[in-house]
Amino acid sequence: MIPADIRIIEEKDLHVGQSTLTGESEPVKKLSTSTLSSINDIKDVSDLDTICFMGTNVVSGSAKGVVIKTANDTYFGKIAGVLEHGKPKTAFQKGIENISKLLIRFMLVMIPITFLVNVWKHSVLITFTFSVAIAIGITPLLLPVILSSSLAKGAIRMSKKKTIVKKMDSIQSFGAMNILCTDKTGTLTKDEIVLQKYLDVNGNENYGVLKHAFLNAYFQTGLKGNIDTAIIDKANEMDMDNISTNYKKIDEIPFDFSRRRLSIVVSDGTKTQLITKGAVEEILSICTLVYDNGNVTEITPKIKENIRNFTKKLNSDGLRVIAVCQKNDISGISNFSVKDESKMVLMGFIGFLDPPKESAKQAIDRLNEKGIRVIVLTGDNEYVTKCICDKVGINSSRIISGNKISKLPDMALLRLLYDTNILVKLSPIEKARIVRLLKEAGNVVGYMGDGINDSPSLTNADVGISVDTAVDIAKETSDIILLEKDLNVLLDGAIEGRKTFANLLKYIKMAVSFNFGEVLSVLIASIVLPFLPITPIQLLVQSLLYDFGQLSLPFDNVDAEYVTKPRKWNLKDLRNFMFFMGPTSSIFDLMVFASLWFGFGLRLPESALFQTIWFSYGVVSNLIGLHIIRTAKMPFVQSNASTPVYATSILLSIVALIVPFTFIGKWIGLVPFAPIYLVVIIGFPILYCFIASFVKKLYIRKYGEWI
């Protein structure tokens, strides 16, 4: 492991793994003298071939170097520095803060108004306690409880969808996410190399090429890489594994990163062959002949150029290509070495692909249908990424490379991001910058990653998503952990997040609008009536009762239409809802006051009965109104609440009717009432359902949505 940023001054076959920084699995050769012709060749700081970076590791070779940066000043330290600042506030946290500020402002306004309009009729103490009760009444008393229980219930539901919630307040951000930034490998692809093609130099499928590649992979004794495994798997699939029994291994020339090829010597008893496979350019450099349609001919510059164009085309199809060659004229050699890899016959090519997951295209389509745009941020090259993205349905008409991004100001890059879904050859810092810019543009951004190099982006995102097989630092900085690296699992979790937010928003809109309406009507009645329409203690108990009725909302059903698109906090929408539906309920409250005053003739001597009727009516109307507010559809017909919601609504409505006949009712100043008053207590809430349903349609027509 390299402990600092180091300038190489001496080296021998030094190859360094930089996957922690770039995500690229292939080792990079480091030199004491740069091969870069100019500064324009540097697309990213990780391209510097004379610098070894802290946090990377030596794969092979040796070197001496001079330390140039240590600790926080290193490139790795700059990445770690992003994490030190902590995660910025999420949209959910900002939304809760804004709601709290709104409620505090109303409280500060309502207390002096209520006190001033009543102090001339009642004692200072009664007026003050009534004013405080009014202020408390406008506040959703059980907001912390509902908030915690909604998120906890949501986390349980999400765990059943293979989605583990680490940070509860990330559930809303997960549901509100409209952009998902993700890597390609393992998310869109299977993260396994598969042999796709075995071709001769003319591009025709050739069994002999696969046979020679299989013998090379089967008999090599070094650590078998994913390429060797893919070759052997393909051979087994085609029942070629018995070929190995006909051959005997004679010798081997191991792979090294300077030659970038591996050779084995085998014999079938009649002839001995040297078979070599490796990078195309390195194989071409040792071949003087080519096997073409059964004939061995000399390789000309034109043939070499055609081969390069052909392999470039395979690369553009997303294939990683290696070449295979062999030599028969090796009689008399007993000890094979690198110098024997010469004057060989080029057989052909084998192409490998990390294929897309079978579920990826369907998952991308589902994400798009649910309003989530997928942006691929990868350290891989353009050709492979484009091929995979085309297969899974991600628009690849524009692809931006990391070297271009580094030269663009934020505003110019943001303009490109509006219609660019694929960004390649990115460093961790560039990924984090893209996530930050997308957030600043008003999007709710999710980032899915599982490596050390993903940590800055996981921190910058509204919701960081990782998998249970990720490295520790990625899991530590993420908010959500998927038990399966699959976009379908991610989407299922996001939908559960939307349901959780829907039930939370139901409570907030319901509580704020009803409480505002009740406070408004009580304030008006307290001005007009010679007595208080409800005492402070009765108002608090009443609020507590229907708040208890709303405790079941985290278990409520959510209309399918609601989860079709992301939802964000909108304080303006909350104010509109409060000022629209609050006065609607206030009108019915005032109608109840009028019916009790004029219809039933309840005057000052019967103030306790007046307050009792109002107490029971308030609880019943709120619990029935709950079913109007909880859905944009027609309640009880087009949309049904869950069993717990129905049960608590009925139970607490019965409690509200019974309390006046108990010692508790007597203790808070309530009195028994005659059955005739049930016309008011139950009749007006039922009437409210019909009128509120009409008002709901007007609201949806005006503002476009309900919850």
Tell me the sheet residues that pair with 402: none
Same domain, 376 and 345: no
Q: What's the mean pLDDT in 270-281?
A: 89
Q: Give the tens place of pLDDT for each residue, 288-303.
A: 999 888 788 898 888 8
Please tell me what DSSP assigns to residue 597.
I
| Mean pLDDT of the chain, nearest integer | 85
**Amino acid at position 603, single letter:** R
Poorest-pLDDT segment among 37-46, 482-491, 543-552: 37-46
Q: What percent of the chain has pLDDT over 70?
A: 95
Same domain, 476 and 501: no
Is 174 a domain residue?
no
Is 287 a domain residue?
yes
Here the CATH number for the domain that contains residue 411 is 3.40.50.1000
Same domain, 362 and 449: yes
**Is the predicted pLDDT of residue 397 greater than 90, yes or no?**
no
Max Cα distance, the chain (Å): 125
**Domain end (from 353, 372, 389):** 353
- pLDDT band at residue 392 under the 50/70/90 scheme: confident
Q: Which residues of 98-135 are buried (b: 16+ CB within 10 A; e: fewer)?
A: ebeeebeebbeebbeebbeebeeebeeeebbbbbbbbb
The residues, any chain, with a CB within 8 Å of residue 600's CB and separated by 6 or more, are: 677, 680
**Domain end (from 22, 50, 84):** 84
What pLDDT shows up at residue 705?
82
**Is the predicted pLDDT of residue 272 greater than 70, yes or no?**
yes
Q: How many CA atoms lie within 13 A of 650 on its CB side?
A: 7
User: What total of structural domains would you count in the chain?
Assistant: 4
- CB distance 277 to 324 below 8 Å: yes
Same domain, 422 and 501: no
Q: Give the tens place of pLDDT for each residue, 335-377.
A: 888 888 988 999 999 998 878 888 888 889 999 999 999 999 9
Distance CA 394, CA 397 (A): 9
Name the strand (E) or helix (H) holding 621. helix 607-629
What pLDDT shows up at residue 657?
92
Is 452 a domain residue?
yes
Distance CA 439, CA 441 (A): 5
Is 91 a domain residue?
no
What pLDDT shows up at residue 616?
92
Same domain, 346 and 409: no
Strands 261-267 and 248-256: antiparallel
Distance CA 574, CA 117 (A): 28
Candidates 183, 228, 380, 556; catalytic one? 183
- The residue whose two tokens read 């030199």 is 31
Same domain, 461 and 527: no
Q: Give 656-679 as a DSSP string.
A: HHHGGGSHHHHHTT-----GGGHH
Here the CATH number for the domain that contains residue 13 is 2.70.150.10
Is 271 a domain residue?
yes
Here the CATH number for the domain that contains residue 639 is 1.20.1110.10
Better-predicted residue by pLDDT, 487 or 29: 487
- CB distance 165 to 171 below 8 Å: yes
**Is the predicted pLDDT of residue 650 greater than 80, yes or no?**
yes
**Amino acid at position 341, single letter:** E
What pLDDT shows up at residue 27?
72
- CB distance 577 to 570 below 8 Å: no
Same domain, 363 and 344: no
Q: Give the tens place of pLDDT for each residue, 304-318.
A: 888 888 888 888 777
What pLDDT shows up at residue 62?
84
Distance CA 685, CA 488 (A): 44
- pLDDT band at residue 612 under the 50/70/90 scheme: very high
Q: Give the tens place of pLDDT for each residue, 260-270.
A: 789 999 988 88
Better-predicted residue by pLDDT, 456 or 667: 667
Better-predicted residue by pLDDT, 446 or 49: 446
- CB distance 163 to 492 below 8 Å: yes
Q: What percent of the chain has pLDDT over 90?
A: 17
Indicate whether this model's pTM tops 0.85: no
- CB distance 474 to 450 below 8 Å: yes
Q: Give the tens place of pLDDT for each residue, 62-103.
A: 899 999 999 888 887 776 666 666 666 766 777 777 777 777
Same domain, 335 and 375: no
Is 40 a domain residue?
yes
Here the CATH number for the domain that contains residue 291 is 3.40.1110.10
Is 656 a domain residue?
yes
Both tokens assigned to 409? 């100001």
**Is the predicted pLDDT of residue 39 greater than 70, yes or no?**
no
Same domain, 410 and 466: yes
Give the Å distances, CA to CA, from 191 to 27, 53, 103, 387, 448.
18, 26, 51, 15, 15
Q: Give the tens place of pLDDT for each residue, 526-574.
A: 888 888 888 888 888 888 888 888 888 888 999 888 888 888 877 788 8
Better-predicted residue by pLDDT, 470 or 400: 400
Q: Which domain holds residue 413?
A: 179-190+357-483
**Domain end (from 61, 84, 107):** 84
**Is the predicted pLDDT of residue 148 greater than 70, yes or no?**
yes
What pLDDT shows up at residue 214?
93
Nearest to 263 by CA among 213, 311, 224, 297: 213
Same domain, 516 and 553: yes
Question: Rg of the chain's alpha carbons, rounded to an integer?
Answer: 36
Better-predicted residue by pLDDT, 144 or 235: 235
What pLDDT shows up at residue 85?
61
Is 170 a domain residue?
no
Tell me the sheet residues that pair with 463: 446
**Is the predicted pLDDT of residue 493 greater than 70, yes or no?**
yes
Same domain, 575 and 652: yes
Nearest to 114 by CA among 138, 128, 131, 136: 131
Helix (H, G, I), strand (E, B), or coil: what is residue 255? strand
Is 228 annotated as catalytic?
A: no
Nearest to 127 by CA among 111, 104, 138: 111
Same domain, 381 and 466: yes
